[in-house]
Structure 1
Amino acid sequence: MAPGNLKKVLVLNAGSSSLKFKLFARSEDLNLSLESRGVAERIGDLKSALSFCDASGKQKNISSQLGDHQEALRTIFKELKLSASDLFAVGHRVTHGSDKIYKASRITPEVKKIIADTIPLAPLHNPVNLLGIESAEALLGSEVPQVAVFDTAFHHSIPPEAYLYAVPLKDTAERLSVRKYGYHGSSYAFLLNRAAEYFHKPKEQLNLIICHLGAGASMACIKLGKCVDTTMGMTPLEGLCMSTRSGDIDPGAVLFLVNKLGIRKTDQLLNKQSGLYGLVKVNGNLDGVVFSAGIGEHSSPVRERICEGLEGFGIELSPKRNLSTKEGEISPNRSRVKVLVIPTDEEQQIAMETVSVVTGLGDG
């Protein structure tokens, strides 16, 4: 058992048939360092699997029948030789907090009810996020504090003129909650903090465009440290074209497809059978452009195409830096706007927010 102030933080990200985790150790100065990470896959299947590795990258794979998320979590604890007494807190990634929760929060019956009530807005994610929470509660009881960190929370600062659609205000926007929410919030929060370190200035003074380009792709516009707009909307389908999602499309085209194919096939088509195309729009007094996530971090050709023709806005790429940099600046020294590559770590952000909530340093 670790000393009380050095207990570990476990971050869980539950999927419909998977459970991803990262375990962070807390040092004496309360910084977090990755100790282990992994995923339980095909939960509920006869051929379930658990794979994990330590901070050095040493991998271990286990084939085991995992009947449900609680059994998967119990197996993770067993393999990591982890007990409740080792944990300072557990942080859960939760996709949607509606407009009722806009910060990381200690999990209470009231918070769980809001997550459940928001299922119609995130039917694929909130139910399994709630399942992950309940699995951890069943295993750990009330001994370990648990915190929910919401993907939508970072975008709470978006003003009404940006989050409202041109639909009837009372009957549609308010009564049915049809509005822009935004996603990838933990990634944006992490990247904003890391960018502030690169610029050597408080995040409250930064104006940025952040590009989270992975299988799911989005962008966020940051003004003085606050999100003022983002490309994803009421659902993660809006905005940029992604690896399998269509992104923006004429609503009339959607109605046409529903007419021809039905709702289920149209849903499958737009969410699972579409492609990726990057774009960027720059406006105002910009400090930097940040690329992150799988494509943003690793694809120099995509970064080059996105920045092409933006020299008039003060955005330039150094071909050499763009090809060779894993993390840091990829613009030439003369570029008015810095272009950065920063690897994201949503789980570490969730862990930091979890610690803040439990220690009372956050607003949760």
Structure 2
Amino acid sequence: MNAFETLTYLIEHAENGSVAALVTQDNTPIIITKDDEYSFSAYVCTNTGDVKRIKEEFDKTTFHKAVLDFLDEIGDFIGKEVTELSLSNIALFPNCIPKKEERKEHKREINIAEKINDFKKINSPYYAIPLLTDNGKLFAFIPEIDGTADLDFIIKSISKIEEKPKPVNLDLNSVYPILFTSKLDPKMGNPFTSAGNYTFFTAVYVYQDTEGSEKFMGQNMLKSSGKFFSTSPHGSMRTENLEFLSSSHKKGNIYVGFFVKGEKIIELQSLDLVDLHLENKIRVNDYIFSSFSLTARNGIIDFESYDKVMTNFINFALAKSNGREVLKDVIEIHSMGGIDLPFVKNSSGQNISVVDPISYWYYKVYEKTDELKDCNDCPLAEKVNERNFLISILRRKGWISAFLL
């Protein structure tokens, strides 16, 4: 059973002081107690004898966050994201609650950079989307890891890598939502999309001005400026003016940029978001939700937070750009709630259930199906679990507390 839904139901309906035994998908026991109306605590045990006590306190507005924080902390302790929880018999785990003098705090130091490097190692077949060639290396986006890598060969277009690269034609609805999840934390960057000297990211902006030109890799580019939008997982938003090198754009139009950040920010390609919406290729709502999907925790996006970021984007961006042309349509689509959007499995109340980008890619491209489901037993399941685990650790260090939308 879904870990978030199971734990939420249990805490909401349990009597104060009641104790229950749960097991994760890997049979890790958790003895949980509902201490009172606004707190619960638990012992988490491993087969090596380590025990960790976790306590969460909350109010009516922070209950769901407390549940997600609790699941994240368990995942950090056992080294794997908790995706499922099932009720068990407390009598099966007599040694899980230690005596007071035997309790010990488990501390685990994890080398994030090393773990991410290991995560990025992938065997063929896989797909590669070329971004930039520098000193004989190809900086490419690899959907199977939802990140980038430096490759020792050069390709000019999206290719499937097996014995040798083979160019392929893929549906934009399969490719773009994955790329849109590549976000830049202004302070911490993005370790998943960083390789060598560059970090790849996508961001939406309103084009402002051009002041002169500058060469990049022998190519003459415009010194441009744009109004970008920094958001948080809770949907708050502020504008941020950034300079970058690009081709020509229309002043006051809203674009989605595909950027690499090295010594400077370089725009590799841009899409006029309003044109795409009018052509029914990529809707504004699709872009915003795909970008915001990075904030999902245990496969859940809080609708209230998504609603807030969407409302802010309408006010800060669409209403003050050529986005006014699609404003009414964007609002109508948003009024339908969290349905018919990339990655969305279902929507219930304040919870939007989503699949991760790797699962989305696998079933869209490898299985050629529109069915959205988690990649629990597919060939990329290990990558899904590793990515979720690494994201939970990075979040505890403050990653994506703010990011460019």
TM-score (norm 1): 0.28
Pick the structure with greater CA Rg: 2
Structure having the larger proportion of residues in strand: 2
TM-score (norm 2): 0.26
Structure having the larger proportion of residues in helix: 1
